[in-house]
Structures are given as structure tokens and as C-alpha cells.
């Protein structure tokens, strides 16, 4: 207890005290929700579900810009960032051994970077 009897004083130093992570989770969640609605509208107007129509959905351009690819990329990067914040917090909350926690965080980062590379190869090689 401190001298006034209010409880323990907590030193506020270090990383990840939550505000930016909270905002990032909410912003990326909104981006993913909006993109889901855009995809659903695209499916409604797509007609028959086949490879050509699916490809055209992502190859949609407006004023020479690959809008479909850009929207998919923003949504996918939002998923990656959302996943990183969530999984990192899980490792920080439940894995007490520092070495193991660092190992799991590095593995998570490598896996997420690998999925970004795979995504870029698939979507941008249309």
C-alpha cells in the first residue's frame, strides 16, 4: 500500500499499454466489415459464380486504378494487423517464459509475413 492507503503504485513504463492497440483493433475491424459488405454486393451482381467472374471482381478498375486489388489489399493488411495485435496479446498474457514468448511472437510474425507474400503473389499476378 502507498502512504495514503490507496493500493499499490504501478510503474507505467514499457510497451503496449493498450490505447493504440485498442484503436488499431477497432479500425481494422471496421475496414474488414466494410470490405465484407463490398464483397457481398459484388457477389450479388456477379451473376454466375465461376473463375472468370471471380477474377473480374478483383480485377475491377476505375480511372485506370486497380480498385478491386487495392481494396482487397487494404482488407488483407487489416486482417494481418488485427491478427498480429490479437495473437501478440495472447502470447503476452498467457506465456510467462520470456524466451518462449519471444519465440512464439517471432514465429507468428514470420507466418503473417509469409501470408502477405503469398497474398501478393496470388492477387497481384492477375
Does the pLDDT at position 19 exceed 70? Answer: yes
What's the pTM value of the predicted model, to 2 decimals?
A: 0.80
% of the chain residues with pLDDT over 90 = 60
Q: Tell me the per-residue pLDDT of 62-103, one tens digit each, with 9 for 90 and over.
A: 888 899 999 999 999 999 999 999 999 999 999 999 999 999
- Give the model's pLDDT for residue 60: 84
Cα 41 to Cα 35: distance, rounded to the nearest angstrom: 10
User: How many other CB atoms sit within 10 Å of the CB of residue 28?
Assistant: 22
Biggest alpha carbon–alpha carbon distance for the chain:
72
Greater confidence, 63 or 36?
36
E-only strand ranges, the chain: none
What's the CA gap between 54 and 68, in Å, rounded? Answer: 11
pLDDT (tens digit, 9 = 90+) per residue, 43-62?
Answer: 898 888 899 988 888 888 88
Paired strand residues for 113:
none
Question: 34: which 3 cell numbers?
Answer: 466494410
pLDDT at position 87: 96
For CA atoms 35, 38, 39, 40, give the dihedral sign. positive
- pLDDT averaged over every residue in the chain: 88
Amino acid at each position: 500500500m502507498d502512504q495514503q492507503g490507496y493500493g499499490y503504485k504501478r510503474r507505467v513504463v514499457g510497451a503496449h499499454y493498450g490505447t493504440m492497440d485498442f484503436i488499431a483493433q477497432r479500425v481494422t475491424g471496421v475496414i474488414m466489415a466494410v470490405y465484407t459488405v463490398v464483397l457481398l454486393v459484388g457477389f450479388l451482381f456477379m451473376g454466375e459464380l465461376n473463375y472468370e467472374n471471380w477474377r473480374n471482381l478483383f480485377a475491377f478498375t476505375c480511372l485506370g486504378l486497380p480498385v478491386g486489388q487495392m481494396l482487397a489489399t487494404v482488407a488483407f493488411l487489416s486482417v494481418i494487423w488485427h491478427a498480429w495485435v490479437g495473437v501478440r496479446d495472447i502470447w503476452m498474457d498467457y506465456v510467462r517464459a520470456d524466451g518462449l514468448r519471444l519465440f512464439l511472437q517471432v514465429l507468428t510474425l514470420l507466418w503473417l509475413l509469409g501470408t502477405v507474400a503469398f497474398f501478393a503473389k496470388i492477387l497481384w499476378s492477375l
